[in-house]
């Protein structure tokens, strides 16, 4: 069980920036850092010299371009020296964890203006040479050997299909929904609709997950500038407030596959992180109290499981949210209107930050064609490792 994480002081996001996500062959790691940071600092109305501390999120330097191993790889491209900069690595929750660390430092009074930046450069290599390579060569020689990343979630999918009557079509429709949303996001890696048949008939990666049930590896960066809520100048800033942040490591990298009680129906980390964030935000009925959600749909099954883990429906009923189009833009609770990871792509260290940028953009009513109308409170969710680490952040446009 999680501990009650207490929010000491309120934190505001005053600047957001994001590069395009995709195969950015023309941009280096440093270029991506510069672009995302510059956009965020401009949005916040702060200069580089005003940043007092920063957190850099890059999950996998060793399968990328060997950049992001320490805070140096943020300071160098930005020319920011003489302040504390820390690299954060927590698998796919790295970006959200960078924001959590920045928020904690602000709350503690260590700094007054903080930057959290996530960046990953994966497309300089083929997918087989990055994520697959990691699973083949860079992990324990025996435990889990034979899995790709997709496979570690596919075992959940097969058990859930067995227990709850979820179908391959239910999973594929998540991909169809998110690809539809992605057509409205000019920064998404893929901006094309797809049909149910296209998802089902795309090459199988790890049964029952096909290529189109799986997010691509991607280049990209995203950045947020944060201050304490008490320091917000409304004449200058368009703040978005952090209502709650939960992050939980609830199992291990190998443990789920060698633990006799692991049911493969839910992610305990999701439930622990959500409980922390909901308590801080005072949320008791998430379906009624949240207006939009960005879920870590690295694979379609993860979005389905997370509906239940975040309390949007009862156990075993997640498929009904998809079948009823509840989570499509225009539905009761739009999920992944950005296009999600399936459409935006997944520069691992950047994704959590990108989600916060996305939700903040909606809460500022600036999301254009995909705007969730009247959105006041949004949630971002990341899951890392084989469902071991999860982060939930609740954002609000009111304080």
Partner 1 sequence: MLQSSSTVKSQHCICYVDEDLFTLSFSAASKIIDESCAIDAIFFATSTPVFKERYHASFMADLLGLKQGIFAMDIISTARAGTDALLLADKLVNAGQYKNILLIAANVDFAAIGDENQSSGHAAMAMVISTEKGLAEISSSESFSSSFAEEFYYKGQKTVYDLRFSRSAGFKANIENAWIKTAPQNGKFGGIIINSPYARMILGIMKKSGFDTDKQLLKDNVKSMVGNTAACHALLLLISAIENCNGSVLLFDYMNGTNVISLKIKSKPDIPKLANLEFINIESYHDYLKLRKQGDFTDINYRHQEMFSSEMMMEREKGRLLYLMADECTKCHSVFLIKIARCNHCHGKEFFEKKLQRKGTVYTLTSELYFPSSFPPINMIVIDIDGGGRLTLQQTDDLYSTEENKIKIGDRVELVYRKMIENDSKPNYFWKCIKI
Are the beta carbons of 209 and 364 closer than 8 angstroms? no
CA angle 397, 96, 106 (to 5 degrees): 65
List, in order, residues 6 or more apart from 26 with CB less than 8 Å away: none
Q: Does 158 bind partner 1 (CB under 8 A)?
A: yes
CA 153, CA 214: separation in Å to the nearest integer?
Answer: 10
Per DSSP, what are the bridge partners of residue 121? Answer: 219
Residues forming a β-bridge with 12: 227, 241
The span of 55-63, 144-152, 191-199, 353-361 binding partner 1 (CB under 8 A) equals 144-152
Residues 175-204 interacting with partner 1 (rule: CB under 8 A): 203-204
Q: How far is the C-alpha of 213 from the C-alpha of 176, rounded, in Å?
A: 9
362 is catalytic: no
The token pair that represents 186 in the structure block: 């000019």
Judged by CB, which is closer to partner 1: 11, or 157? 157
Instruction: Choose, by CB under 8 A, the member of 9, 66, 167, 207 that binds partner 1.
Output: 207
Catalytic residue among 92, 215, 223, 298: 92
> Is 296 one of the annotated active-site residues of the chain?
no
Residue 3: alpha-carbon gap to chain centroid: 22
Comparison of 11 and 154: residue with beta carbon closer to partner 1:
154
The position carrying tokens 């201050």 is 227
Nearer to partner 1, 48 or 138 (CB): 138
Check residue 128 for interaction with partner 1 (CB under 8 A). Answer: yes
Of the candidates 111, 172, 188, 205, which one interacts with partner 1 according to CB under 8 A?
A: 205
**Could you say which of 179, 189, 346, 362 is catalytic?**
346
Q: Does 154 bind partner 1 (CB under 8 A)?
A: yes
| Contact track, partner 1, 339-368, x by CB under 8 A | ------------------------------
Q: State the Cα–Cα distance between residues 367 and 361, nearest whole angstrom.
A: 6
Q: Is 279 helix (H, G, I), strand (E, B) or coil?
A: helix
Q: Which residues are catalytic?
A: 92, 346
Residues that bind partner 1 (CB under 8 A): 126, 128-129, 132-133, 135-148, 150-151, 154-159, 162, 203-207, 251-252, 254-255, 257-262, 264
């Amino acid at each position: 069980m999680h501990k009650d994480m207490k929010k000491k002081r309120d934190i505001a996001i005053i600047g957001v920036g994001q590069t395009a996500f995709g195969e950015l062959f023309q941009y280096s790691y440093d270029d991506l850092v510069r672009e995302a940071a510059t956009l965020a600092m401009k949005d916040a109305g702060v200069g580089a010299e005003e940043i007092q501390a920063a957190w850099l999120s890059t999950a996998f330097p060793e399968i990328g371009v060997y950049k992001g191993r320490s805070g140096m790889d943020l300071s160098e491209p930005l020319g920011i020296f003489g302040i504390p900069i820390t690299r954060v690595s927590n698998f796919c929750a790295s970006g959200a964890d960078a924001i959590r660390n920045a928020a904690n430092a602000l709350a503690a009074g260590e700094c007054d203006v903080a930057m959290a930046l996530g960046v990953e450069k994966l497309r300089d290599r083929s997918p087989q040479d990055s994520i697959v390579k990691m699973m083949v060569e860079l992990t324990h020689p025996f435990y889990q050997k034979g899995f790709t990343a997709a496979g570690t979630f596919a075992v959940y999918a097969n058990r859930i299909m067995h227990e709850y009557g979820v179908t391959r079509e239910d999973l594929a429709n998540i991909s169809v929904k998110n690809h539809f949303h992605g057509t409205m996001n000019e920064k998404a890696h893929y901006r094309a609709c797809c049909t149910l048949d296209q998802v089902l008939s795309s090459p199988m990666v790890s049964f029952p997950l096909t290529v189109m049930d799986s997010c691509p590896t991607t280049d990209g960066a995203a950045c947020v500038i944060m201050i304490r809520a008490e320091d917000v100048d409304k004449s200058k800033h368009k703040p978005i407030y952090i209502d709650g942040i939960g992050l939980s490591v609830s199992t291990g990298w190998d443990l789920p596959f060698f633990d006799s009680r692991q049911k493969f129906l839910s992610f305990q980390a999701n439930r622990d992180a959500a409980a922390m964030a909901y308590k801080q935000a005072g949320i008791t009925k998430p379906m009624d109290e949240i207006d939009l959600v960005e879920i870590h749909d690295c694979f379609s099954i993860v979005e389905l499981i997370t509906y239940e883990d975040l309390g949007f429906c009862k156990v075993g009923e997640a498929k009904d949210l998809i079948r009823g189009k509840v989570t499509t833009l225009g539905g009761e609770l739009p999920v992944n209107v950005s296009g999600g990871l399936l459409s935006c792509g997944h520069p691992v260290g950047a994704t959590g930050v990108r989600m916060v940028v996305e939700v903040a953009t909606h809460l500022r009513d600036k999301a254009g064609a995909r705007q969730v109308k009247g959105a006041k409170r949004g949630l971002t969710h990341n899951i890392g490792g084989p469902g071991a680490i999860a982060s939930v952040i609740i954002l609000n446009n009111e304080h």
